[in-house]
Amino acid sequence: MPKLLRNALSAQQVRHAGPGSYVDGNGLMLRVRDGGSRTWVQRLMVHGRRVDIGLGSAELVRLADARRIAADNRAVARTGGDPRRARAVTFAEAERRASTEKADIWKGGAASKTARDWRASMDAYVLPQLGRMHVGAVASADVKRVLRPLAMAGKHAVMRMAAGRIAAVLEWAEVENLREHAGSGRAAVEAVTRTLPKAAAVRHHQALHFSDVGAALAAVDGHPRIKPAVQLAIKFIALTAARGVEVRRATWDEFDFDAAIWTVPAEHMKRAREHRVPLSTGALAVLEKARGRCAGKLAFPSPKGTQMRGTMVADSLRAARIGTSAHGFRSSFKDWARHQGVDELHSEFALAHVEAKTVAAYGRDDLVELRRPVMQAWCDFIVRPGD
C-alpha cells in the first residue's frame, strides 16, 4: 500500500516553489502558476464524485490555515456532507482570488494598468454593495443595486465595465463550484443590463470640413497666443492624421528620415499594435523645424521639456477660434479621402483603424507605400505653397 502523505510541505517550500503542483496531504495541494501566483486546492470525493475545491491564495492563507481548512472539509465529506456548501465564500474573497488568477494573463501582471483599473472599479462601485454577500447568493436584484445608479447617472461606460467584472467573478465562482448553476452569473448580469437606460447617442469630436483645414493651419501659424512647439504639433497632427496623444508622445528615435517613415510603437497606439506612417514633404518639413528647436528626446515637447499636455493643443485651437479638436483632423482627412475616391482600405490603414486579422492578411508591408501618395496628396491639399 502506498504511503499516505501528511504535512509534506514546509512554509519555505510554499514561498519558493516554482511552477507546478505540490501535494501536502489530506488532498491539499499547492498550485503555482507560470506568473508566480500560488493557490491552495483540495481534491476530495464528494457524494461519490471527485471535486477540486479552491482554498484561496497562498499569499493570504497560511500553510497551517490551509491544512486546518482541508481537515475540516475532509471531515464534512466523510460524513456525507458537501464542504463547498459549508464554506461561506464572500463575493469580496471570490473577487480577490479571481483577480489574482486573471493577473497571470494581464500584460504587466498585478502591477499592470488593467489590474489597477480592476481594483479601482471594484473598490468604488462593486464591493460596497456585494462584498459581504455569499458569492453563491448574488442574484439579479443584487447586481441591479450596483449597475442601476451608474446607468441613471449617465456613466454607461463605467456601468458596462463594472457589469463585465461582476460577471467575471461570478463565472470564476461557478468554475470553483461556489455557485449552484453554470452560467447563472453572466445571465444575471445580462438580465440587469437589458433593463437599464441606454447610453445617449455618441457625440463625435468637433471637426472641420476638409476644405477649411488649410485655412485653419494658416491661422495657427504665427498666432501670438500659440507657442511655436504647439503650432508645429498641431500641423503635424493634421498632416499625418494621427491621434494627438501619439504625436505628443513621439520621440526622435521613432522617425526614419531617409525612408520618410514614422514608426509609432505599439505602447503608444490605441490598439496596442505598431503603426507606420509615411511622411509627406510637409510632415518632414515640420519635423525639421521641430528638430531645430529642441535637442531632447521628445519631438514636440512642452516649453518645460516634458510631454505636451492635450489641453495645450485644445486651448490653442480655441485661442485661434478654430472649430475642431485635434482628433477632428482625422475626421477631416477621412472625409477628404472619400471625396477623392481614395481606396477605403488605404484610408483606414492611415487612421490605424484596420483590425489585426486584416493587417496579418497583408503581411509586414501594411500597404505603407500605397498610402504614401495618399498622404502626399493630403499634404498638397492643406499646406499652402511656401509653408
- Percentages helix, strand, coil for the chain (3-state, rounded to 5) are 55, 10, 35
d(CA 185, CA 139): 8
Distances (CA, A) of 155 to 115, 129, 340: 21, 17, 39
**Residue 102 falls inside a structural domain:** yes
Output the domain CATH number for residue 298.
Answer: 1.10.443.10
Residues 147 and 125 grouped into a single domain: yes
Please tell me the predicted confidence (pLDDT) of residue 385: 64
Q: Determine if residue 288 is left, alpha or beta; phi over 0 gives left, psi from -120 to 50 gives alpha, anything else beta.
A: alpha
Helices (H), the chain: 11-16, 63-78, 83-86, 91-102, 113-121, 127-130, 140-152, 156-175, 184-195, 213-220, 228-240, 244-249, 281-293, 310-319, 328-339, 344-350, 356-361, 368-382
Res. 25: pLDDT tops 80: yes
pLDDT, average across residues 359-373: 71
**Residue 357 falls inside a structural domain:** yes
Residues 82 and 96 grouped into a single domain: no
Domain boundary among 70, 86, 102: 86
In this structure, are residues 293 and 229 in contact, taking their beta carbons and an 8 Å threshold?
yes
pLDDT, average across residues 128-141: 87
Domain extent at residue 272 = 210-382
Size of the chain in residues? 387
Closest CA to 166 of 144, 149, 197, 198: 144
Res. 373: pLDDT tops 80: yes
Residues 72 and 95 grouped into a single domain: no
Res. 19: pLDDT tops 70: yes
Residues 36 and 169 grouped into a single domain: no
Q: Residue 362 — very low, low, confident or very high, per pLDDT cuts 50/70/90?
A: very low
Res. 363: pLDDT tops 70: no
Q: Residue 387 — very low, low, confident or very high, per pLDDT cuts 50/70/90?
A: low
Res. 51: pLDDT tops 70: yes
Output the domain CATH number for residue 82.
Answer: 3.30.160.390
d(CA 57, CA 39): 4
Look up residue 190 and give its amino acid.
E
Residues 182 and 242 grouped into a single domain: no
Domain boundary among 139, 170, 195: 195
Supply the mean pLDDT for the chain. 86
Residues 22 and 111 grouped into a single domain: no
Spell out the residues 6+ positions from residue 175 whose beta carbon is closer than 8 angstroms to its own.
none
Taking only Cα atoms into account, the Rg of the chain, rounded to an integer number of angstroms, comes to 28
Please tell me the predicted confidence (pLDDT) of residue 366: 77
Please tell me which residue, 296 or 289, carries the higher pLDDT value: 289
d(CA 231, CA 341): 30
Please tell me the predicted confidence (pLDDT) of residue 199: 65
Output the domain CATH number for residue 107.
Answer: 1.10.150.130
From 85-99, 121-135, 324-338, the region with the lowest mean pLDDT: 85-99
Domain tally, the chain: 3
**Residue 3 falls inside a structural domain:** no
Please tell me which residue, 10 or 198, carries the higher pLDDT value: 10
Residues 147 and 263 grouped into a single domain: no
Residues 240 and 311 grouped into a single domain: yes
Residues 71 and 182 grouped into a single domain: no
Quickly tell me which residue has 467584472 as its cell.
165
Res. 1: pLDDT tops 60: no
pLDDT, average across residues 197-223: 80
What does residue 295 show for φ and ψ, rounded to 5 degrees? -115, 10
Res. 261: pLDDT tops 90: yes
Please tell me the predicted confidence (pLDDT) of residue 85: 63
| Most confident of the following: 227-231, 289-293, 362-366 | 227-231
Full-model pTM:
0.50
Domain boundary among 86, 101, 131: 86
**Residue 354 falls inside a structural domain:** yes
**Residue 200 falls inside a structural domain:** no
Residues 298 and 232 grouped into a single domain: yes
**Residue 284 falls inside a structural domain:** yes
In this structure, are residues 302 and 309 in contact, taking their beta carbons and an 8 Å threshold?
yes
What does residue 30 show for φ and ψ, rounded to 5 degrees? -105, 125
Residues 183 and 218 grouped into a single domain: no
**Residue 204 falls inside a structural domain:** no
Residues 168 and 217 grouped into a single domain: no
Please tell me the predicted confidence (pLDDT) of residue 157: 85
Res. 5: pLDDT tops 70: no
**Residue 203 falls inside a structural domain:** no
